[in-house]
Amino acid sequence: MVLWILLLLRPQLNLYAQAEDSHVSGPYIDKLVYRVIPNESDQIDALQNGDIDIIGDFIQPRYTPTLAVYTGVDVDHTPENGYGYIVINCEEYPMNITAFRRAFAFALDKWAISDYAWDGLSVPQDSSVPQGNAFSVEGQLPYSYYEANAAFGNQLLDDAGFIDLDKNGYRETPNGSNLDVRLEVNIYPHEALCEIFRDAFESLNVSATVTDATFSTMTNMRNGLFDMVAFHTTLPDLSVDWLAYEYWSEYASEPQWNYARFRNGSYDSWRETILYSTDYEEVEQAARRMQEIWTYECPAIVCYEKTRLSAHRGDRFEGHANDLISGVPCWWTNHRVHLKSSEGGPFGGEFRWGISSGIDSFNFMASTSSETRNVLQMLYSPLLRYSPDGRVLPWLVESYEILTHENDESVPVHHTRFVLDMVRNATWTDGEPLTAYDVAFTYCYYRDSYHGGNPYGAGLQNLTAAYAMTPYKVALEFESPSYWHIYQLVGKPIIPRHIFEGIGVEDWNVWEPAIPPAGNDSLVTSGPFVISTYTPGISIELEQNPDYFRAPRPKVESPVPDSSKCIEIEYGASEVLRWSVNGAKPLSYSAYRNRTVIDSGSTTADFIEIDLDGLDVGAYNYTLHVEGARGLSSADTVFVKVSVDEEERDVDPLAFVLHPVSLLITLTSVAVMLFYGHSLIEARRKTPHIEERGSSCTAQ
């Protein structure tokens, strides 16, 4: 719920304060509809014709000219979490000379790669961490390799002793031997890239053979039998702990790590920090320094970061998100998108997806379909999730702390304990509260079913303990010190303990919940949407979960600008309380004065006024309760003191509230307000029952 505060008494005074980030409130739409359209060209037609609002996957570039001619259709670019790069064998002479590697990096025209080879569908990249990642230093270094700078590259080679001794137009190595470099290209588009790579070598007067890779290229690369190889990599997630492995000196001879055979003591010196610190700032500093060293030393040269394309209509809805991993067709778009004001927004509407295949299983753990995962992710809530820009965002959590033995002696030496305070208003669709017991059970269930093939157990094998400290405080403990353990907690759907206690870990992949219209007893979820209609192979419709804990409630702007919530007026004065309200209209409201309803009704206006005329000397409690079109409510309470003595204005404004009689009025009125508001919000829910017994697991 978003709460705004505004004061309007005569004379008028305005003050605004926002109590919750509107970006995490949602959803605003009433319904999500997923239509199965197997053929991509048919999806393009459906989008152009207005039959769907978004295509549920990245589209091929060849469709962009077709879409460009349609007003109301937007095509968005999303950099991928990976890149094309050239690995250089730093163990071989003269590639082991930093100046040689840097000279080639400066001579390479990365803009030509993006503009010519990729026809604008990539962007230049220098750092080993893709741009967009919160840990990337891309664009923050004092130099760049984006534009070809052959003059500086040649200067580096001259200074390092690479001279054309025999005057044949090509340089020799500093020890006088012939220099002939072989670069094998294993990335698309081969021909265009090979041409740009040859141009870079020619601009440096370096003899080079640039050719397509063969079947033996990767084998030779693992064995160190190569000069340079260009290929592509995609990173699995947004963590960067891999920096400590892929270029670590001790892995220089490992066939699956450190292909560049790079050895650098300064780089290695940050390894312990990035791997074992639990402090975000220390980890961020280590990641930055390692990238700075890597980018300067050039054990590999990142050439480009591809951009992927997604398409949606922008004529009726706005608020789409562009997620680092999924692009625009993502969870965040469904959570944020809303009707434009010209369409009667922000609330309401049916947001329609086109997806290429139907649901393969309603068991999200057993599904192998990305389309299915896109649908089912809207039914569940994780403990933590990635924000669209890749930050770790508390979701079912209000706050958390990371503990080690150094700051809490109850934590075993070398362990990392995450203590998370949960939100208290999340519920399951059967009315049960979602608590720390569910969270502890979830991570144990995933961990213990991992060896049976459950993919959600990945990264949890050194989770040694998970237990509820209180109904809304959970501890998750790993047997090693590392900030990166938090990334193993992100995005995993929390499951209801009271349902899955009857589904053993050995049956994780055979569980198949009943769905409407067959039934909904075993499909107990907590996410922003619930299933309303399902036609196999044709479509699935989700409607908004009325009890979702982040649903946007009506906004009530209080007439009081300070935390005391008290105002004082003179007896006989003509004053008015004005609450500004915003939400899904019409709004129903009730105004109370000392437990008594003094006004009620329905309004489409942006404010509700209550006259304070004719009040006797004394203390009064005014409460406004509003309920939106979706049954979600908000309330605001103001204390009013009416006085005849001007000198009384110097008295503490809270003093009248603390008088025994006024205190009784205040407490009973607030109790009525709280009970009334809570009963409306909870009317659809089963009365919560929270067990006070422990819920825990340890390593199995």
DSSP labels, 185-199: E-SSSHHHHHHHHHH
Do residues 556 and 3 make contact, with C-beta atoms less than 8 angstroms apart? yes
List, for residues 301-318, the tens digit of each pLDDT value: 999 999 999 999 999 999
> Mean pLDDT over residues 269-287, rounded?
97
Orientation angle between helical segments 98-107 and 190-203, nearest 10 degrees: 120
In this prediction, residue 559 has a pLDDT band, given cuts at 50, 70 and 90, of low
Distance of CA 300 to the CA centre of its chain: 29
In this prediction, residue 558 has a pLDDT band, given cuts at 50, 70 and 90, of low
In this prediction, residue 478 has a pLDDT band, given cuts at 50, 70 and 90, of very high
Orientation angle between helical segments 150-160 and 98-107, nearest 10 degrees: 160
Do residues 303 and 108 make contact, with C-beta atoms less than 8 angstroms apart? yes
CA-derived radius of gyration, the chain: 31
Q: What is the pLDDT of residue 642?
A: 87
Return d(Cα 225, Cα 242) in angstroms, integer: 24
Q: What is the pLDDT of residue 519?
A: 55
Do residues 602 and 687 make contact, with C-beta atoms less than 8 angstroms apart? no
Triad 351, 352, 355: Cα angle to 5°? 140
Going from the N-terminus, what domains does the chain have, and what CATH number goes with each? Answer: 4-25+554-681 (2.60.40.10), 26-72+314-379+527-551 (no CATH), 82-306 (3.10.105.10), 382-510 (3.90.76.10)
> Mean pLDDT over residues 178-184, rounded?
97
> Mean pLDDT over residues 437-458, rounded?
97
| Per-residue pLDDT at 661 exceeds 60 | no
Tell me what the pLDDT averaged over the chain comes to: 87
| DSSP code per residue over 306-329 | EEEEEEEE-SSEE----BTTTBSS
Nearby residues of 633 by Cβ (< 8 Å), 6 or more positions away = 553, 554, 625, 626, 627, 677, 680, 681
Peptide bond into 455 cis (omega under 30): no
> Mean pLDDT over residues 343-351, rounded?
94
| DSSP code per residue over 569-604 | EETT---EEEEEEESSSSEEEEEEETTEEEEEEEE-
Q: What is the pLDDT of residue 161?
A: 98
Return d(Cα 476, Cα 400) in angstroms, integer: 11
Return d(Cα 630, Cα 609) in angstroms, integer: 23
Q: What is the pLDDT of residue 24?
A: 83
The tokens describing 569, both together, are 């007026």
Bridge-based pairing of strands 463-470 and 696-698 is antiparallel
**Structural element, H or E, at residue 184:** strand 180-185
Return d(Cα 261, Cα 254) in angstroms, integer: 8
Q: What is the pLDDT of residue 320?
A: 97
Return d(Cα 87, Cα 85) in angstroms, integer: 6
> Mean pLDDT over residues 280-291, rounded?
98
In this predicted model, which residue has the larger pLDDT, 251 or 10? 251
| Per-residue pLDDT at 71 exceeds 90 | no
This prediction's pTM: 0.80
Do residues 232 and 187 make contact, with C-beta atoms less than 8 angstroms apart? yes
Q: What is the pLDDT of residue 679?
A: 31
Q: What is the pLDDT of residue 653?
A: 44
Bridge-based pairing of strands 4-5 and 555-558 is parallel
**Structural element, H or E, at residue 543:** strand 539-544
In order of 180, 229, 321, the CA distances from 212 in angstroms are 17, 10, 39
> Mean pLDDT over residues 9-30, rounded?
50
In this prediction, residue 633 has a pLDDT band, given cuts at 50, 70 and 90, of confident
> Mean pLDDT over residues 682-695, rounded?
40
Could you give the dihedral angle defined by the CA atoms of residues 13, 17, 22 and 23, in that order, rounded to the nearest 10 degrees?
120
Residue burial 416-425, b: 16+ Cβ < 10 Å; e: rest:
bbbbbbbeee
List, for residues 562-598, the tens digit of each pLDDT value: 434 678 888 888 788 888 776 666 778 888 988 899 8
Nearby residues of 318 by Cβ (< 8 Å), 6 or more positions away = 337, 338, 340, 345
Cβ burial of 28 (10 Å; 0-12, 13-18, 19+) is buried
For residue 650, what is the DSSP state? G
